Amino acid sequence: MDGNGGPSLYPLHRCKTLHFVRHAQGIHNVEGDKNYKAYMSPDYFDAQLTPLGWQQVDNLRKHVQSSGLFKRIDLVIASPLLRTIQTAVGVFGGEGYTDRMDPLPLMVANAGNSDRPAISSLDCPPIVAVELCREHLGVHPCDRRRSISEYQFLFPAVDFSLIESDKDIQWKANVRETKEELAARGMKFMNWLWTRKEKEIAIVTHSGFLFHTLSAFGHDCHPLVKKEICKHFTNCELRSMAIMDRSMLGLDSSTTNYPGRLPPGPDLPSEAVDDDAVNDENTEKKIPNSGLSWTKNV
């Protein structure tokens, strides 16, 4: 389809609905938005949310609840940094934590100097931390994560099992990941999503990761649709999109399709009967190296 093309049609079981979320305002954003060099400050190591950031989380939580989105999401994926995990559990976690009811809280009280109560893990989608959707790696201390064991103490019910190393071995103090490397990592993440059985997934991640990953999509759309896909996210913005598997990467069968005509047997429309009569007078030949065929009158 070119840039002026119309609607496209895809089998539903080859589609996923993705809800992309940029984390709420972190302490690094306050000065970094004014002066980019502020991102170099060690004071912003694994930056946590600001009080305004938590207000943004509360507002987005109200939206996903009132819109019905909360009940539809099968899985939440979060970048393993403090600001993204705080955003994920704050928006998609359960209601107030009660020791007598919850086996483990999603977040302990005051995690990351948040001055927030503990968050329940009951009646909410599973939250899984995934390294592939981290922000630009290297140089900026705000993009360096702490050890997984520290996170597990702060967020007991978040699943960190997909992260192989306790320490952050991906972040380098003197080497910044290139935009091309980040985009390639983003595509690896998107391909990984097709290995998941869940069909409606929320991804809580970062501005740079979102921009460079999503910029790889939409080239077959109208320019305004392309712009809508990859424009920069604001803090705590949620944007919902559908992604289609056109390459047979996903192998899941449909759960809603129905074969019809049970038991099976001939049930051809009249047009097909007419075609069969014509085909009896033709010789069918196949085009070499393809799955196509063509007919020639004899």
Which of these, 123, 71, 70, lies nearest to 94 by C-alpha position? Answer: 123
- Specify whether 63 is catalytic: no
Residue 84: CB partners within 8 Å, gap ≥ 6?
A: 23, 78, 204, 205, 206
Among the options 23, 28, 140, 212, which is catalytic?
23
| Active-site hit among 19, 131, 135, 206 | 135
Q: Are 80 and 151 in contact (CB under 8 A)?
A: yes
Pairing assessment for the beta strands 200-205 and 15-22 based on DSSP bridges: parallel
> Is the dihedral angle over the CA atoms 99, 93, 132, 37 positive or is it negative?
negative
Q: Which of 110, 127, 126 is nearest to 118 (CA)?
A: 110
3 state DSSP class of 270: helix
Identity at 73, one-letter amino acid code: I
CB atoms within 10 A of CB 16: 20
Active site residue 23: yes
Positions marked catalytic: 23, 135
